[in-house]
């Protein structure tokens, strides 16, 4: 007997039972209750969040890179300003010539000017020490000090001694003794700190 004939000969009760059997088989073997679609939706959401976070991280990295470049630009500008006040090509002879010129231009007499040698550890800058003795009136010495403040160099003084050598009541002559500190950028120290030992 053919399958078609058997189906035609089924009673209503047998047809209902067969329908339930087929539906149950479909439900248990094929139908997954939408779990697969739910899983795909969850995976898509997770992928979206991952890509969104990657985009946020990329934007933050770009902002940080822009801030870093701006900071490098500012640092370079500050460094150039510093090199004006602590130049590389500033020798002890240049410093002594500068002090002599400013002292004499202020009307003072340079009595003694000589370098003071020091044992310095390598650093970003070197100190240039000059022992200076000048003679002049009070206003001439003040003029000399004022002129030094207008030079684009960092200059300090220490061990200042002031004494009278001619006690003229109108314009006494004073002796001004000091150690003057100038500074030079130590490019060799910077190169060695940048290069290290090569390891």
> How far apart are the C-alpha atoms of 18 and 6, rounded to whole Å?
12
Q: Where are the domains of the chain?
A: 92-190
Confidence class of residue 198 from pLDDT cuts 50, 70 and 90? very low
* Nearest of 88, 84, 82, 80 to residue 184 by alpha carbon: 88
What letter would DSSP give residue 122? P
Residue 109 has pLDDT above 90, yes or no: yes
Q: What is the tally of helices (H) and strands (E) in the chain?
A: 6, 4
- Give pLDDT, residue 121: 66
Confidence class of residue 161 from pLDDT cuts 50, 70 and 90? very high
**92-190: CATH homologous superfamily?**
Ribosomal protein S6/Translation elongation factor EF1B (3.30.70.60)
Radius of gyration of the chain (CA): 45
Contact 154, 180 (CB under 8 A): no
Confidence class of residue 135 from pLDDT cuts 50, 70 and 90? very high
Q: Record the pTM.
A: 0.55
- Give pLDDT, residue 72: 76
Alpha helices (runs of H) in 86-137, residue ranges in sequence order: 92-105
- Give pLDDT, residue 199: 44
Residue 67: other Cβ atoms inside 10 A: 10
């Amino acid at each position: 007997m053919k399958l078609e004939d058997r189906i035609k000969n089924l009673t209503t009760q047998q047809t209902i039972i067969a329908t339930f059997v087929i539906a149950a088989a479909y439900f248990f073997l094929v139908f997954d209750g939408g779990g697969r679609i739910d899983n795909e939706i969850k995976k898509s959401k997770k992928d979206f969040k991952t890509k969104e976070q990657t985009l946020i991280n990329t934007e933050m990295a770009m902002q940080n890179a822009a801030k870093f470049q701006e900071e490098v630009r500012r640092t370079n500008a500050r460094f150039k300003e510093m090199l004006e006040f602590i130049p590389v090509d500033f020798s002890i002879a240049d410093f002594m010539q500068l002090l002599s010129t400013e002292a004499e231009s202020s009307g003072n007499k340079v009595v003694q000017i000589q370098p003071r040698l020091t044992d310095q550890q390598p650093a970003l800058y070197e100190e240039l020490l000059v022992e200076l003795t000048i003679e002049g009136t009070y206003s001439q010495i003040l003029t000399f000090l004022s002129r030094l403040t207008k030079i684009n160099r960092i200059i300090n003084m220490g061990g200042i001694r002031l004494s009278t050598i001619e006690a003229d009541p109108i314009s006494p002559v004073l002796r001004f003794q000091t150690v003057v500190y100038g500074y030079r950028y130590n490019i060799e120290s910077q190169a060695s700190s940048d290069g290290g030992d090569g390891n």
